[in-house]
Structure 1
Amino acid sequence: MNRTIIMYTKVAVLVMLVGLALSAPSDSYGPPAHQQTYKEEPKPYQYNYAVQDEYAGTDFAQTEESDGQNVKGSYTVQLPDGRKQTVTYVASPYGGYQAEVSYYGEPQYPHEYGPPVTFKPQSYHHEPAYKPAPSYQPAPSYTPEPSYH
């Protein structure tokens, strides 16, 4: 009789596990069926920036614009060999990302190199803008007597 109860228990657990597996969603990577998805309308934009620091040798820039579907732009960077690299690109949902790379200038490879660019540390002395007044004024421990001359 004990073997029969154990057998029925095993079968019941197996049936529950199979039922649980079959009730799981088939696409576990997609959004849940009860959740609505929000599709934002594409918005046109335009931006650009440039950084040029002759002391540090930094020189790069980028410009980009989009009509909401297609993107076009370019960026430039000063290479260590002295050339300027420019990448002009377009990207669209159907054509993908397409880039054209061009270089300006001749590469320079000096035989001797100068000292590395270093920045001297600047001393910084901070004065607080607010100087609190002492909140405790001790009373004198004695009262001075007036002096008569």
Structure 2
Amino acid sequence: MGTQPERGTWEHRPLVLVLRPAEQPTAKVTHYAVRASRTFFVLPEHYSVCRLCDEIPPCTHATTEAAIDREMENAERLMAIQPGCCLGCGEPITARMKTERFPGSNLWRPDLGDGSAVFHTRAGCQDYVSMYRKQWQAKGIEDAQMTLPGPNEG
């Protein structure tokens, strides 16, 4: 009995993958030459298939539905934010709080008007500031032009 080769040499080692359609157990098998570094998931004898897109979960249909649900939750969260509140946490911004304000039209809530994109500088809101900044950068606005000090910063 031979020894197994070193794992480090497996990357380009050829393997033969033998496949047969699950719904045709007597069909002729198909052979494919593959690399050993490739990951393959072997399905059990009984597995589920989406009735809408005929894929193994997580299917395109389920992935799309989950993405739509996330976007709807985010839209509902943003629509609940009142004028003068942080676009990150939704809490009111007082004159004593440090803020980060973005000039121009509000990318997330255009209905609030120009200069209304404002965030707290606290740690809990920084992820939202980063997301907003990335959208500004995608629009081609330079970082130095993006942020202006809030009314209470000096």
Structure with greater helix percent: 2
Structure (1 or 2) with the greater strand fraction: 1
- Assess same fold via TM > 0.5: no
Return the TM-score normalized by structure 1: 0.23
**TM-score, L = length of structure 2:** 0.22
User: Which structure has the larger Rg?
Assistant: 1
Answer 1 or 2: higher relative contact order, Cα 8 Å, separation at least 6: 2
